[in-house]
Amino acid sequence: MVDATEPVIFADPAVIAGLDHWRTLSIKQQPAWPDPTAVAAASAEIASMPPLVFAGEVDQLRERLARAARGDAFLLQGGDCAETFAGATADQIRNRVKTILQMAVVLTYGASMPVIKMGRMAGQFAKPRSSDTETRGDVTLPAYRGDIVNGYDFTPESREADPGRLVKGYHTSASTLNLIRAFTQGGFADLRMVHSWNKGFASNPANQRYEGLASEIDRAIRFMEAAGADFDELKRVEFYSSHEGLLMDYERPMTRIDSRTGLPYNTSAHFLWIGERTRELDGAHVDFFRRIRNPIGVKLGPSTTPETMERLIDVLDPDREPGRLTFITRMGAGKIRDALPPLLEAITSMDATPLWVTDPMHGNGLTTPTGYKTRRFDDVVDEVTGFFEAHRQVGTHPGGIHVELTGDDVTECLGGSEMIDEATLATRYESLCDPRLNHMQSLELAFLVAEELSKASRA
């Protein structure tokens, strides 16, 4: 249970017992494990492994998020819809980190404020699904629930939930996070290098419209250099890990008592969010995650009422602690302008300041006649624009973006400057779950958001 070298100063037995209260509540989106004994053994093995993150880092993130909630920082959260074990390669991890760093530079300039960099990485392995089963032809099998649960291959053996995958999920998260830490601390994040990658993007004729912003950033960096800025200090960046807190046989054993404070921290990631499908107020997930000290996110879809939002605040952030609670809205481009303002207005009459982040992906899904799950880049941009408009209208802070992206040149979302069309989707469609923005589309989104942010900072 204990996760650091110092002895526990005090761990209240009631606090420890509370961490298992979720077991008595209704729970959604868990796999049908065939062998409960094997699951218990896997969870026990995970409980004996070292934490992946240190509670002190988690506290630091909470403080950073508090700044964003006040309007003094901006959150960039991005990565795969579903990480895979096979995809945890040096190249793919590097490309994703690189893309997030490139986006962060542009956003930092646009916002004139610090950008908190966070990956949907090193643990984003479990997926909630609309249906428990998938049918192909006349065969029906359990749905794919992410590599930490079962395999994607459409065979009965592969689709059976395998508890051995819980342990593999831990090890894959550990090696991914290790490489992320190496990249972000070891020189790869050097501001000048990241900026030179962006210059390459903006000088591509397809992205001409961003050349102006890229050369403004260039001038700013040259000014910093001339003024004697210490670029060695700018080689390292803070980078936080996050995933959906979904699979309880993994999240519970990764939750440990912090020896500094005697309080429970989920050490599988710095930040965990509760998904749209598992956020019932009296359900297992809300009960479990309200008890941990990590900053918590909650996805809010278009049907969220101000009453539900207020009750979520009361349960998840009873002390109104800055940085504790992030609402990640995923309304859909067509709905955000109607659905978000009432929530923001309700907040202004409460004593709460959650961080507001837009997820412009999950409300904009569509399936092509050929069966590809996709999203239109224009809808993604439209939802982000609607998010900024709603905040401008009500006077609240648009605090961040949450995006499904990859650093690779996949063809999963329609549009963008490469004008990916329906016929092109088949060329390189690799996601096992939702479609991601590719490298170019991600940078394009960052430049567009930077324009919005600079409007907001000049207003």
Ligand X SMILES: O=C[C@H](O)[C@H](O)COP(=O)(O)O
Q: Smallest Cα–Cα separation from 205: which of 445, 439, 418?
A: 418
Stretch that binds ligand X, among 68-76, 122-130, 245-253, 326-334 (CB under 6 A): 122-130
d(CA 292, CA 365) in angstroms, rounded, equals 32
Question: Which residue numbers belong to the known binding site?
Answer: 81, 120, 276-277, 299, 330, 362, 404, 434
Tally Cβ neighbours within 10 Å of residue 226: 8
d(CA 337, CA 390) in angstroms, rounded, equals 6
Residue 244 in contact with Mn ion, rule: CB under 5 A? no
Strand duo 373-374 + 366-367: pairing: antiparallel
Question: Which bin fits 206, alpha (ψ -120 to 50), beta or left (φ > 0)?
Answer: alpha
Residue 128 in contact with ligand X, rule: CB under 6 A? yes
- Nearest approach in angstroms of CB 364 to Mn ion is 11
Stretch that binds ligand X, among 128-136, 309-317, 319-327, 391-399 (CB under 6 A): 128-136
Strand duo 74-79 + 115-119: pairing: parallel
Q: Indicate the residue among 317 and 434 with the shorter CB distance to Mn ion.
A: 434
Residue 81 in contact with ligand X, rule: CB under 6 A? yes
Q: Indicate the residue among 45 and 280 with the shorter CB distance to ligand PEP.
A: 280
Residue 127 in contact with ligand X, rule: CB under 6 A? yes
Return the bridge partners of 118, or none: 77, 240
Question: Which residue numbers belong to the known binding site for phosphoenolpyruvate?
Answer: 120, 276-277, 299, 330
Q: Indicate the residue among 81 and 410 with the shorter CB distance to Mn ion.
A: 81
Q: Which of 28, 70, 129, 320 binds ligand X (CB under 6 A)?
A: 129
- Nearest approach in angstroms of CB 80 to ligand PEP is 9
Q: Indicate the residue among 413 and 433 with the shorter CB distance to ligand X.
A: 433
Q: Is 454 helix (H, G, I), strand (E, B) or coil?
A: helix
Residue 376 in contact with ligand X, rule: CB under 6 A? no
Residue 126 in contact with Mn ion, rule: CB under 5 A? no
Q: Indicate the residue among 37 and 130 with the shorter CB distance to ligand X.
A: 130
- Nearest approach in angstroms of CB 209 to Mn ion is 29
Residue number with the shortest CB distance to ligand PEP? 275
Question: Which bin fits 27, alpha (ψ -120 to 50), beta or left (φ > 0)?
Answer: beta
- Nearest approach in angstroms of CB 373 to ligand PEP is 12
Q: Indicate the residue among 202 and 272 with the shorter CB distance to ligand X.
A: 272
Q: Which does 330 bind (CB under 5 to 8 A by kind): ligand X, ligand PEP, Mn ion, none?
A: ligand PEP
Q: Smallest Cα–Cα separation from 120: which of 153, 151, 149, 146?
A: 146
Residues 390-449 close enough to bind ligand X by CB under 6 A: 433-434
Chain contacts with ligand PEP (rule: CB under 6 A): 81, 128, 244, 275-277, 299, 330, 362, 434
Q: Contact 180/119 with Cβ under 8 angstroms?
A: yes
The helix-helix angle for 191-203 and 439-458 (nearest 10°) equals 100
Angle (nearest 5°) at CA 410 between 405 and 414:
80
Residue 81 in contact with Mn ion, rule: CB under 5 A? yes
Tally Cβ neighbours within 10 Å of residue 276: 20
Return the half-sphere exposure (C-beta side, CA atoms, 13 A cut-off) of residue 108.
17
Question: Which residue numbers belong to the known binding site for Mn(2+)?
Answer: 81, 362, 404, 434
Query: Which phi and psi (to 5°) does residue 175 adopt?
Result: -75, -30
d(CA 65, CA 60) in angstroms, rounded, equals 9
List residues near Mn ion by CB under 5 A. Answer: 81, 434
List residues near ligand X by CB under 6 A. Answer: 81, 127-130, 433-434
